[in-house]
Amino acid sequence: MVTTDAADASFASERLVMHVRDCSPEEIRIPFAVGQDRSRTWVVSRTAAGLRLKHDHRHEDGTTDVLHWYGGDTVNAGAAERQEFAVDADSIALFNANDAAVSTTNVWAMEIHPERMFAYELRRPNRHFRVEFDLAKPIVD
């Protein structure tokens, strides 16, 4: 895991697990657990121009978090192995309305090297968060 923000330090001490679930030709849902916290799901869907990434954040009781359904769209074709998603206008408005203006320049990325590695990344000025998952070692509970 790469991180440049002290706020991400708690992630480093937790078990990080992603699980590709609910795949259809139009949408993929990827729950992301941080220790026992299962509040996050990455949702990747097709658009007319490319791909969209949204973050589904929920409380333990299933209700949506105030910072919910933010994300962005691809701005170019990307590559089969890596796609970048620039923050969209709806997310900028959400961040500004909820004292999270620092997030208005977010760029997220997802990277996949089949049977080897999946990565999720967040970048903005003064922050780089990246977590890589070893696909060669599936978790069996």
**For residue 93, is pLDDT > 90?**
yes
Q: Extract the tokens encoding 119.
A: 């990565």
pLDDT at 21: 86
Q: Extract the tokens encoding 89.
A: 């206008």
The mean per-residue pLDDT over the stretch 97-125 comes to: 97
pLDDT in tens, 24-39: 999 999 999 999 999 9
| 44-48, 51-55, 92-96, 137-141: range with lowest mean pLDDT | 137-141
pLDDT in tens, 36-91: 999 999 999 999 999 999 999 999 999 999 999 999 999 898 899 999 999 999 99
pLDDT band at 141 (very low <50, low <70, confident <90, very high): low
pLDDT band at 121 (very low <50, low <70, confident <90, very high): very high
Residue type for position 138: P
Q: Extract the tokens encoding 3.
A: 């991180």
pTM for the whole structure: 0.93
Q: Which residue has the tokens 């999720």?
A: 120
Residue type for position 108: W
Do 118 and 18 touch, CB atoms closer than 8 A?
Answer: yes
CA dist 67 and 81 (Å) reads 28
Determine the number of helices (DSSP H) and then strands (DSSP E) in the chain: 2, 11
Helix or strand holding residue 82 (H, E): strand 82-87
Q: Which residues contact 101 (CB under 8 A, 6 or more apart)?
A: 95
